[in-house]
């Protein structure tokens, strides 16, 4: 892993971009993609894609799509004491929300905020109960609702986890927020740069959707607009390996995730065979993955009369928290897999994917 890649990962993961408020990530992607593509286009919801034309106008179109958004919170009201009540943007385990730092983004500025928690001293002789998002207040240090109002705090403002991405001791692992799915954002940017001087047998539409974490919304506008012939989601999934179970799905350090099934999509026989052949031809490490959560491929594959779709993923521990832990070599495997898949995708491959 190059220092350039490490720095890019730090940049993308530290950007602030919860669902519906992906502006900072989109601006960064536009800046980074522009030198390496023939055109930059946005869909009506704010997804951004770089277009790299294929060898001719009849080339099939392959979409490689990350999603820009990360999980966070939105202010729903402000109490008389100046604390904020919130609704979640994306899925959160309520046990990991309390006593964490966030950035509150308002029209007047960005402010530090901490999520409330109850000290153990105040829990004595009280029945413990499962916390809920509704019961966790967010504290910006304001003395009253009026003071919060003066600083521009309003319902609809958003809170983003406040974290720096760092390397771990062994040099193989990083930890930080939003690897779901700045993994995909990072991969798309490096992919386009790597393909700069190459001619492709297909037209590549590579970029990122918005609002994946709140119902796979963004990809519907993007697929409608760009009309790809095939679709690859590049997304991060939860690792389930901390107890050492070799049969668990999502194990760090064992390669990219070849997603076979989730609640929204079944990988087709034809697509599976194509991806397995690509990975094994190029000696790219992979692992099979079955998931309880979905990706943008789940929405994309049902659109435009049906689109051959797949997910090239990576595992990370503790996703949808402030501290996602992930392996560099898994990212490298996924990046090489997407690169080889893009280079191989042509009209004959598309016909094979539709051969049923």
Q: Hey, which residues are catalytic here?
A: 212
Distance from C-alpha of 230 to C-alpha of 251, rounded to nearest angstrom:
28
Q: Taking Cα atoms as reference points, which of 333, 346, 207 lies closest to residue 274?
A: 346
Angle between helices 23-33 and 3-14 (to 10 degrees): 150
Burial of 11 (0-12, 13-18, 19+ CB in 10 A): middle
Q: Taking Cα atoms as reference points, which of 210, 203, 233, 17 lies closest to residue 105?
A: 17
Question: Torsion over CA of 300, 304, 309 and 315, rounded to 10 degrees?
Answer: 0
Distance from C-alpha of 159 to C-alpha of 16, rounded to nearest angstrom:
9
How many CB atoms are closer than 10 A to CB 49? 26
Going through the chain in order, the beta strands assigned E by DSSP cover 39-42, 48-52, 61-67, 72-78, 84-89, 101-105, 110-115, 138-139, 158-161, 166-167, 173-176, 203-209, 230-238, 256-262, 265-266, 286-290, 309-316, 324-327
Q: Which residues of 216-245 are buried (b: 16+ CB within 10 A; e: fewer)?
A: bbbbbbbbebbebbbbbbbbbbbbebeeee
Q: Taking Cα atoms as reference points, which of 99, 101, 97, 161 lies closest to residue 132?
A: 97
- The residues facing 324 across adjacent strands are 176
Alpha-carbon distances, residue 9 vs 2, 70, 155, 178 (angstroms): 11, 15, 32, 10
Distance separating the N- and C-terminal Cα atoms of the chain: 40
Distance from C-alpha of 310 to C-alpha of 231, rounded to nearest angstrom:
7
């Amino acid at each position: 892993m190059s220092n350039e890649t490490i720095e890019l990962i730090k940049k993308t993961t530290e950007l602030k971009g919860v669902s519906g408020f992906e502006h900072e990530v989109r601006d960064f992607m536009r800046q980074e993609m522009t030198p390496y593509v023939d055109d930059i286009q946005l869909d009506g919801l704010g997804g951004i894609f770089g277009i790299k034309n294929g060898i001719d106008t009849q080339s099939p179109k392959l979409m490689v799509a990350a999603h820009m958004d990360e999980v966070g919170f939105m202010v729903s009201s402000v109490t008389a004491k100046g604390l904020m009540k919130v609704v979640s943007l994306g899925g959160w385990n309520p046990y990991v929300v309390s006593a964490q730092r966030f950035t509150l983004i308002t029209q007047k500025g960005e402010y530090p905020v901490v999520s409330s928690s109850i000290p153990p001293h105040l829990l004595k002789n009280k029945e413990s109960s499962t916390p809920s998002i509704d019961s966790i207040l967010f504290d910006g240090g304001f003395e009253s609702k009026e003071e919060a109002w003066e600083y521009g705090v309003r319902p609809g403002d958003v809170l983003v986890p406040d974290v720096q991405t760092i390397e771990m001791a062994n040099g193989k692992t990083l930890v930080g927020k939003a690897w779901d799915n700045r993994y995909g954002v990072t991969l798309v940017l490096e992919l386009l740069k790597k393909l700069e001087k190459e001619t492709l047998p297909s037209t590549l539409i590579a970029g990122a959707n918005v609002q994946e974490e709140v119902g796979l919304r963004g990809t519907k506008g993007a697929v409608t607009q760009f009309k790809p012939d095939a679709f690859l989601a590049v997304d991060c999934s939860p690792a389930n390996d901390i107890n050492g179970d070799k049969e668990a799905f999502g194990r760090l350090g064992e390669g990219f995730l070849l997603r076979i099934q989730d609640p929204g999509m079944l990988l087709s026989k034809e697509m599976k065979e194509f991806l397995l052949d690509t990975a094994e031809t190029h000696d790219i490490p992979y692992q099979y993955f079955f998931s309880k959560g979905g990706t943008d491929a789940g929405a994309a594959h049902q659109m435009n009369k049906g689109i051959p779709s797949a997910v090239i993923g990576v595992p990370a521990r503790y996703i949808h928290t402030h501290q996602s832990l992930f392996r560099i070599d898994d990212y490298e495997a996924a990046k090489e897999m997407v690169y080889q898949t893009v280079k191989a995708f042509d009209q004959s491959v598309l016909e094979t994917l539709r051969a049923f």
